Structure 1
Amino acid sequence: MTVDTARQSIDAALRNPQLIEAALALSEDRLHDAEPLLRGTLREDPTDVAAIRMMAELAARIGRLKDSEALLRRALELAPSFGAARANLATVLYKQNRFPEALEQLDAVLAVEGDNPAQQNLKAAALGRIGGYAEAIGLYRDLIERFPDHAKLWMSFGHMLKTVGEQDSSIAAYRRALKVEPTLGEVWWSLANLKTVQFSDEDMTAMQAALSNAGLSDEDKFHLHFALGKASEDRAFFEEAFAHYAAGNALRSAELQHEPDTVTAQVDHVVRTVTPEFLAARKGAGHRAADPIFIIGMPRAGSTLIEQILSSHSLIEGTMELPDIPAMAMREARELEGGKGKDVGAPWLAAVADMAPERLTALGAEYIERTQIQRKTAKPFFIDKLPNNWAYLGFIRLILPSAKIIDARRHPLDCCFSNFRQHFAKGQAFSYDLTHMGRYYSDYVRAMAHFDAVLPGYVHRVIHEELLEDPEGEIRRLLAFLDVPFEEDCLNFHANTRAVRTASSEQVRRPINRDGVDQWKPYEHHLDPLKTALGSTWITYPAL
């Protein structure tokens, strides 16, 4: 199809009543009405690129990102100049955490369209996900100069400034966003999430006023509740703080619908399947690269502190919480039997159980290749600190048997309540309910105990409170496990100016302190559901 023919096809769509009706249905989120209209059009003309693009949008809306991607690639095969389809493809790739590919498509769009603020904004976000902070900040500066009254642009700019440690500028950007849109809850939470901002009485009044706004979305509401919880806690108004935390968590939990039985079934499957015999039968498989250091465990357990310590070493590079292991594992699960495998237990485990050694080795090599974009130095080792990788530890062992594993563990009540006080940008659905949280922690501990039993010495555990008590001793033990020499810079980790993306970004830029210890105690009378779900874990800690 030539460029002119493609243009004609797109113009024809603007005169097609069926596609106009489908577009209206999409705009009103009536997906059940849009789908038959689009299917009818494509039955009549399977090469109608406008209809293909709209069907791809529908697929993306319902979370079928791979289907959406396939449709968009088909549209671009028919009409390479179809800029809207290419821009949509960039978004779909971004949502799949395929940031280098998204950037490639964005650069192609911008090469043709030049000045496209929406695509420049997405490019800045994608650059931030691969460590291209300087270029991303430059793009945001240009955009906010052109659109000074765009609150979410100021917020995104603030996020990027926070990541690179420009805290004062980050706060100023957030404040500018609130001047434009004082009810934007995510900005209030972003200020609270710095952990260093003390809200004024005027801030408290403004947040309460925003919360009472009749048209406020649930998203703004739960962000405001989390921010007001932090503000109340700073004033030692613990009952008010807990009321806000509980309200924010209830809204988020209802939205995410976490199923704790699913996690328990996954751990059960791993414990039954990953036996010494299972591992012995696969000895010698996997990629031998020793580059990766995985820091796993619960969120809010001190993993960012460990990463900051290790990334201060001359041989170890810190990256961020990388999405690659879960993405690869779940892809293999989906592809099992053409996607017809029963999704019970740990579905990736069924996928890898019958894999040839060569395939396991190829998967390890793929991980090394996928994460190369995150490595900005020539240091021989790098850190992947996605906490939830504990659930994929068997997968990691099979594809990267030489990788090092560090389990960051914190007192169950401090760790779990810290999660309850935290709103995460995405994921961590278990963290918005005290019972769900306790079950998740218990399942995580059970999984790690299993790996301690079947692979003694494979995992090095860092007890957060012991690290606070004896930093040099614990750091020396940690470095010995990694087989790298002790360096004084690891004790002075707070002087490290590297970018940090997690909620602990400002905390790890300070010397070791005990500020986070026993923060659950003022709320103890609210925590019975958590204690019950934890069982004896919180009493016997740090022993299993």
Structure 2
Amino acid sequence: MPQQNPFALTRVQLQQGRYKAALKTAKAAMARHPRDPHFPNLAGLAMCGTGQQRAAIAMFQKAIRLDPHFVDAQRNMAQTLILLDMADKALTLLDRMVANDPGDEGAQYLRAQALANLGQTEGAESAAARAVALAPKQPRNYNLRGVLRNTLGLTDLALEDFQAALALDPTNVDTLINISLPLARQTRYDAALDAARRAVDLAPSHVGAHLRLAASYVETGDRAAAQEAYRRVLVLDPQNAEAIEHLAALQGREENAALSEAARAALKHAGSRHRDRASLNFALARIAQQAADVKTEARHLADANRDMARALPYDAQRDSALNDAIMAYFPAPPEASAAQEPVMPVYVLGLPRSGTTLAEAMLGAHPLVHPLGEQIIAGRLLYPLIEAGTPFGATEVADVLERERQMLPALPRGVAAYTDKMPENYRLIGFLKTVHPGARFVHLRRDPRDVALSMWRGHFSGSALSYTYDLRAMAHRFNLYAELMAFWHRLLPGQILDLSYEEMTADPEAASRRLAGYCGLDWVPQMARPEETEAAVLTLSAGQLRQPVHRNSVGAWRQHQEALAPLIAGLDPALWPGLEE
């Protein structure tokens, strides 16, 4: 019986998931055929299958040395570098590939992934668009572009891409997972939950599908279902860092006692994966917090934030320049306008973790107010203009207004106002007042030390809040915030409602009455009971909002004063008067 071709045998073993056998076959073939680049390439794939990604890089490099034009090996190496959080090195390789062959759809697709991992989302979306143009029948290209467009706030376009991907492959689980979040952002919560459920039904062993389903339950306030969904993830993947972190936030002290063992075991195997290490340390910090073990909590929080700061470094110089550029646009207040809008925008803003979710819930409890949660539309439309120094005249205002109308979710009939609680819209108050002269601005104020502790305990999505992972960076950003809010108050006296978190939690009825009056609404009693809201919450505050209003976190910074020392020392007393020990 003739011996099977080693190339064909290795490919079959890889397809069957027999990675150890494939590696053995490929290495034996490498010894017999030392000049054939195919075998080190196959060996690299087998190593990736056994979790040896770093060793696989050397194999792909060897294959490329043997054949510098070996495209498959180049793509495999780029993909592995991306998986190892070495997107910069992957991008260097992919740029060369695209320069040699602009029609290489696979390289364009991987280039989009690399750019996305480096935070260059617009460049990534352009690369994904080129991949779509090169291979319009390939669902993965629409899927990736949809993810990137969703990140950029282009929700409608993202949904079009996901729908195009599903038209090509209706059973694509990744697309169903990805379409769920933008559906939720458009307040189509039933459709979002249905997409996540379909993904789980199609692929009961797909960890990502269960994670998205669990997140959908968190967003809609079904705490018990969310816990069960995260537990199913841990049955499939006992060391899944994301599930451990979220489950720790949802469970009580007794339930978390067992989870701590899983978190510690997973941490030992996390290696150099910064984000996984951070998630697990955040989980262990939460468990220590429940046990009132301040020292252990502080240690895990320091480790978690250090890992996140390495993954997402903060650019203080860029932030300072942006503050200066924003203020330079407004040597005088925006021109007043008598124009009336059919539905009034209410921007709920301030530092993240300052109480914006609670304030929006109070407003959203009013029958004439539709809460939209955190919309990234304003930043998506305005920051490119600011960074380019584009004049903000009538033409630009009209363009922003038209594009905003296209991007906003549909509003129910009969509402008088909608809320956008993107906290960091505080930077854009002057621009938003220019676009919407009748808009209301609700500014949440809270002791910056309590805000800092809440941020230090938090694990945020995306790179926009990279300053929260470094206490000195946090102090720098807090000072910029205080400087800018003082500027807006001078520019627009009496037009911004300051609402204290401490007062809001002490007397919800009085606070909600102030909110109603400022927005020109008749107060209704349910505004004082925001925990009864049925609205979905798509932020870190989702679990907390389901509890009655409380003051448990007021002054909590005092127990963590030593850990927060770099933040406290960095706060400018001139910008933060009245802070007492």
Q: Give the alignment's TM-score, normalised by structure 2.
A: 0.80
184, 197, 204: which one aligns with 1:128: 184
SS at match of 1:483: coil
Q: Which amino acid aligns with 1:243?
A: R
SS at match of 1:413: helix
Report Cα offsets for 1:283-315 as digits up to 9, x if no partner. 449995652110110111111110111000011
- 1:24 matched to 2:76: yes
- 1:34 matched to 2:90: no
For residues 117 and 528 of structure 1, what CA distance do their matches in structure 2 show?
A: 46
312, 315, 318: which one aligns with 2:365: 312
Alignment root-mean-square deviation, CA: 2.8
In structure 1, what is the equivalent of residue 417 of structure 2?
A: 381
Report Cα offsets for 1:446-473 as digits up to 9, x if no partner. 2111111121012101001111223222
TM alignment of 1:100-111, pairs within 5 A:
100-111=156-167
1:414–1:519 contact (8 Å) kept in structure 2: yes
For residues 540 and 32 of structure 1, what CA distance do their matches in structure 2 show?
A: 51
SS at match of 2:160: helix
188, 195, 198: which one aligns with 1:139: 195
In structure 2, what is the equivalent of residue 513 of structure 1?
A: 550
Task: Specify whether residues 60 and 525 from structure 1 end up closer, same or farther in structure 2 by C-alpha distance, changes over 3 A only.
Answer: closer
For residues 105 and 192 of structure 1, what CA distance do their matches in structure 2 show?
A: 34
Pick 1 or 2: higher relative contact order, CA cutoff 8 A, min separation 6: 1
For residues 137 and 315 of structure 2, what CA distance do their matches in structure 1 show?
A: 44
Report Cα offsets for 1:398-454 as digits up to 9, x if no partner. 222221101011111111111111111223111112222222222212211111112
Q: Which amino acid aligns with 2:481?
A: Y
Q: How many residues align?
A: 503
For residues 374 and 174 of structure 2, what CA distance do their matches in structure 1 show?
A: 26
Task: Specify whether residues 194 and 235 from structure 1 end up closer, same or farther in structure 2 by C-alpha distance, changes over 3 A only.
Answer: same
For residues 99 and 197 of structure 1, what CA distance do their matches in structure 2 show?
A: 38
SS at match of 1:484: coil
Structure of larger gyration radius:
2
SS at match of 1:383: strand
517, 521, 532: which one aligns with 1:484: 521
1:117–1:143 contact (8 Å) kept in structure 2: yes
In structure 2, what is the equivalent of residue 8 of structure 1?
A: none
- Cα shift at 1:388: 0.9
468, 477, 491: which one aligns with 2:505: 468
Q: Which amino acid aligns with 1:318?
A: P
In structure 1, what is the equivalent of residue 471 of structure 2?
A: 434
In structure 1, what is the equivalent of residue 345 of structure 2?
A: 292
1:56–1:68 contact (8 Å) kept in structure 2: yes
Task: Specify whether residues 324 and 471 from structure 1 end up closer, same or farther in structure 2 by C-alpha distance, changes over 3 A only.
Answer: same
Task: Specify whether residues 297 and 39 from structure 1 end up closer, same or farther in structure 2 by C-alpha distance, changes over 3 A only.
Answer: same
Task: Specify whether residues 475 and 207 from structure 1 end up closer, same or farther in structure 2 by C-alpha distance, changes over 3 A only.
Answer: same
- 1:365 matched to 2:389: no
Report Cα offsets for 1:142-169 as digits up to 9, x if no partner. 3223433333322211110010111100
Task: Specify whether residues 25 and 459 from structure 1 end up closer, same or farther in structure 2 by C-alpha distance, changes over 3 A only.
Answer: same
- Cα shift at 1:369: 3.1
For residues 442 and 55 of structure 1, what CA distance do their matches in structure 2 show?
A: 37
1:225–1:248 contact (8 Å) kept in structure 2: yes
- Cα shift at 1:511: 2.3
In structure 1, what is the equivalent of residue 56 of structure 2?
A: none
- Cα shift at 1:55: 5.6
In structure 2, what is the equivalent of residue 91 of structure 1?
A: 147
SS at match of 1:382: strand
In structure 2, what is the equivalent of residue 212 of structure 1?
A: 268
For residues 250 and 375 of structure 2, what CA distance do their matches in structure 1 show?
A: 21
- 1:186 matched to 2:242: yes
Task: Specify whether residues 469 and 59 from structure 1 end up closer, same or farther in structure 2 by C-alpha distance, changes over 3 A only.
Answer: closer
For residues 438 and 195 of structure 1, what CA distance do their matches in structure 2 show?
A: 32
For residues 274 and 151 of structure 1, what CA distance do their matches in structure 2 show?
A: 49
For residues 110 and 263 of structure 2, what CA distance do their matches in structure 1 show?
A: 39
SS at match of 2:349: strand
1:189–1:227 contact (8 Å) kept in structure 2: yes
- Cα shift at 1:372: 3.0
1:127–1:135 contact (8 Å) kept in structure 2: yes
SS at match of 1:514: coil
Query: Could you list the runs of 5+ residues in structure 2 that have no partner in the other structure?
Result: 1-67, 82-89
Report Cα offsets for 1:297-348 as digits up to 9, x if no partner. 0111111110111000011111111111111112334xxxxxxxxxxxxx26
For residues 176 and 436 of structure 1, what CA distance do their matches in structure 2 show?
A: 38
Task: Specify whether residues 474 and 125 from structure 1 end up closer, same or farther in structure 2 by C-alpha distance, changes over 3 A only.
Answer: closer
SS at match of 1:418: helix
Task: Specify whether residues 195 and 531 from structure 1 end up closer, same or farther in structure 2 by C-alpha distance, changes over 3 A only.
Answer: farther
1:253–1:429 contact (8 Å) kept in structure 2: yes
1:287–1:362 contact (8 Å) kept in structure 2: no
Q: Give the alignment's TM-score, normalised by structure 1.
A: 0.85
Q: Which amino acid aligns with 2:93?
A: D
SS at match of 2:444: strand
